[in-house]
């Protein structure tokens, strides 16, 4: 099947057709694939844009440099947000490959993007990566932001990362009466989720 046909199938209403095209593109060696997927990150067709995001994730770590570039430098907020989501997809599709340092540093900056489409997605991406470094970036962002929506999202994300520091950090947030009430409420529910996550952890520590 030609590359053009596969790109057409990324727009198909049937998700199975899209997924099949996604994996065929991910396994192809055509050097035009990544640039064409990158060009779709601000596509008005939501189905196509989301399929391009997933396909960039399926292609894998080689997409990280252009995605970081788009995430930090595009003037288009949709493209920036899509780039962040594609980075999260790389982490989801390749959990056994360490996430690149350039990707981590890019997300550390994207957490402070002015637009919630980007900064909230960056928090979610760091939650998917879920390494100690991702936890550090989120903790630093929590301490330095005055954005309540971002603080709530970070507190919630602490509830899903298997990091031994999570419970202590969340308890500190809960106990700090200078922190906005809604953020502290989010920390309470995140702490109960984290306890479930940690209790369900397989023998031998984090997987």
Could you tell me which CATH number the domain at 131-201 has? 1.25.10
Position 118 confidence tier, pLDDT thresholds 50, 70, 90? very high
Q: Average per-residue pLDDT in the chain? A: 94
Q: What is the spatial distance between Cα 74 and Cα 149, in angstroms, rounded to a whole number?
A: 23
CB 83 within 8 A of CB 117: no
| Residue whose pair of structure tokens reads 């399929």 in the numeric block | 51
Judge whether residue 43 has pLDDT over 60.
Answer: yes
Q: Dihedral of the CA atoms 188, 135, 95, 150 (nearest 10)?
A: 60
Question: 1-129 with 131-201: one CATH topology?
Answer: yes
Q: Dihedral of the CA atoms 29, 30, 32, 34 (nearest 10)?
A: -20
CATH of 1-129, one of 3.40.50.300, 2.120.10.30, 3.40.50.11030, 1.25.10.10: 1.25.10.10
Q: How large is the C-alpha radius of gyration of the chain?
A: 18
Q: pTM score, two decimals? A: 0.91
Average pLDDT over residues 40-68: 96
Domain ranges within the chain, ordered by starting residue? 1-129, 131-201
pLDDT of residue 201: 64
pLDDT tens, position by position, 81-114: 999 999 999 999 999 999 999 999 999 999 999 9
CB 52 within 8 A of CB 82: yes
Sign, Cα dihedral of 149, 150, 153, 156: negative
pLDDT of residue 206: 47
pLDDT of residue 202: 59
Judge whether residue 147 has pLDDT over 80.
Answer: yes
Average pLDDT over residues 52-78: 97
């Amino acid at each position: 099947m030609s590359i053009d046909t596969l790109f057409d199938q990324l727009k198909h209403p049937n998700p199975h057709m899209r997924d099949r095209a996604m994996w065929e593109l991910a396994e192809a060696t055509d050097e035009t694939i990544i640039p064409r997927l990158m060009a779709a990150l601000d596509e008005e067709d939501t189905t196509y844009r989301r399929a391009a995001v997933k396909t960039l994730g399926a292609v894998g770590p080689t997409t990280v440099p252009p995605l970081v570039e788009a995430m930090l430098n595009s003037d288009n907020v949709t493209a920036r947000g899509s780039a962040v989501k594609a980075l999260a997809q790389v982490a989801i599709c390749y959990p056994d490959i360490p996430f690149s340092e350039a990707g981590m540093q890019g997300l550390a900056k994207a957490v402070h993007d002015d637009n919630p489409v980007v900064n909230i997605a960056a928090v979610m991406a760091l939650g998917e990566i879920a390494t100690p470094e991702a936890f550090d970036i989120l903790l630093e962002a929590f301490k330095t932001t005055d954005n309540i929506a971002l603080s709530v999202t970070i507190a919630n994300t602490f509830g899903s990362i298997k990091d031994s520091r999570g419970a202590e950090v969340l308890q500190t947030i809960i106990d700090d009466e200078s922190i906005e009430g809604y953020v502290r409420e989010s920390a309470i529910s995140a702490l109960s989720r984290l306890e479930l996550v940690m209790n369900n952890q397989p023998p031998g520590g984090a997987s």
